Amino acid sequence: MLARQLLLGAGCSLRRFSSASRGAVVVSTMQAIRAGEEDVRQRLAQINEEVQKLLALKEQLKQLTVDDDGSGETAAATPAPGKPAAASEPGNRNLSLKTPKGTRDYGPEAMALRQRVLDQVVRVFRRHGAETIDTPVFELKEVLTGKYGEDSKLIYDLKDQGGEILALRYDLTVPFARYVGMGNVFNIKRYHIAKVYRRDNPQITRGRYREFYQCDFDIAGTYDPMLPDAECVKVVCEILAEVGVGDFVVKLNHRKLLDGIFEACGVPADKFRTACSSVDKLDKTPWEEVRREMVEEKGLSEEAVGRIGQFVTLHGGTELIERLAADETLRSIKVAMEGLEDMRLLLQYCEIFQVADRVSFDLSLARGLDYYTGVIYEAVLLGGGGAGGGSSADEEITVGSVAGGGRYDNLVGMFNPKRKQVPCVGVSIGVERLFSILEARAGGKTRTNETEVYVASAHKGLHLKRLEILNKLWSAGLKAEHSYKLNPKLLAQLQHCEEYQIPYAVILGDGELSRGVVKLREIATRKEEEVALDTFIEELRRRLLSAA
């Protein structure tokens, strides 16, 4: 464009001069054109250099940000061309700060709520005589693979760190089976509360994360049919009732019965598990979509899938058991009859445990994990409401199942040197989903500490006496704290007590101390009373016990 303008200008000039002077003008004009073109080239080079710098910076930011594929790894930053690598220093402004996908931080109020729920869960576990264990957060990858069916792709693999191929644990059941088999444990009733990891598609509002807690209760050992299984159902009902998340139902089914139904419907034996994984989607997916998957993706015949559809839509109680037991096709299949007999016994025990109104025999329940061999169960909330019938806020909270489990009699033998089997049954509580519901419902400020008494001073020069009183309270087993300022204002100290909901304050003053007394203030009512210095700890303990 610049060259064209210069040429036009040169043409106009040439018309005004004689032929003798035109040559000089042409020469000077061509020099100007060349100078203009050089200037354009330099500007383009500068622009290109700046673009390259921006692209390099963009790539650097990408590598510093946790990737979205769930690997959770942060790559080293790539320096821009011609620039030295930036030192890894705290406060690097190029770092995009975020928690990895599918994770979150928990502040004091969230942790107070979580701890309360976990304490309630542990109380139920211990009420039923369970003892606790712990296992490594990562396992040999071969321990985990082949146990989770189609969900095996969600396992987090770890890089080789010295000859062992490892993966983060996907659940607590397989590590428990490895513990039992490897340690030659033949009977144990255990609970385990720990984090597990899945490269799943996170849904934060549904309490679905990639890092989350599981609370497992399992009974290992050879016992009479359905006695441990019924206790697991009872444990689930007690926990959900105690936590107070609202109405729920525990769906029950049996893997042997499902296998018998698949056989009766004409499904090849080698496709039982893949058919099971499709049926397991019925709680989230309409039957027509599941049917299409079974036919088009799993290769089952239209006729077989049509027969399956007639069964998996059924649910009920003992009347459904009798109806299935009378089915001519199922009666000829041994495993189906064994499953029905187990279900009949389980419902009888649930009646005795007074949870029959909380359970439903549901043939759509499949539980997609490969290791289940007998009874399976899953607890789901009924609607979004709480115990009081629910609110509009509750109705927006959809969390799906909140507990699940079943019998797995053949898993331990995979880890025993002599292949000795130890029958097991257990349940896992989806506490993250419970947390999501309770956190959304929480109203007002949640107390985040357990401090029972605050030691305050009314004026300057009493910090040494505060420390003395504080030490006496700690030695007496009371939960106490004070200000870390030498001479704090009394109003600020009392406001701290109110903000953190500390029930009592002991206020020290020279006048009171000279008379051998202190002021004991009840924070909620702001009432103060003088108490003898020698007996104020006993008086404080008495008041705390009466308020408990």
Enumerate the known binding-site residues for L-histidine: 171-173, 198, 214, 218, 367, 371-372
Residue ranges at the known binding site: 171-173, 198, 214, 218, 367, 371-372
Query: 443-479 burial string, b = 16+ CB within 10 Å, else e?
Result: eeeeeeeebbbbbbbbeeebbebbeebbeebeeeebe
Nearest to 531 by CA among 507, 501, 510: 507
Tokens, residue 492? 């600020």
Residue 533 has, within 13 A of its CA and on its CB side, a CA count of 18
Distance CA(504)–CA(455), nearest Å, equals 9
CA 462 to chain centre: 48
In this structure, how many other beta carbons lie within 10 angstroms of the beta carbon of residue 504?
A: 21
Distance CA(52)–CA(78), nearest Å, equals 13
Nearest to 363 by CA among 444, 255, 520, 479: 255
- Residue length of the chain: 548
In this structure, how many other beta carbons lie within 10 angstroms of the beta carbon of residue 413?
A: 15
In this structure, how many other beta carbons lie within 10 angstroms of the beta carbon of residue 502?
A: 21
Scanning the structure block, which residue is given the tokens 């040429």?
7
Question: Torsion over CA of 379, 381, 387 and 390, rounded to 10 degrees?
Answer: 180
Distance CA(338)–CA(334), nearest Å, equals 6
Distance CA(378)–CA(249), nearest Å, equals 8
Tokens, residue 191? 């609970």
Distance CA(191)–CA(189), nearest Å, equals 7
Tokens, residue 504? 């009592």
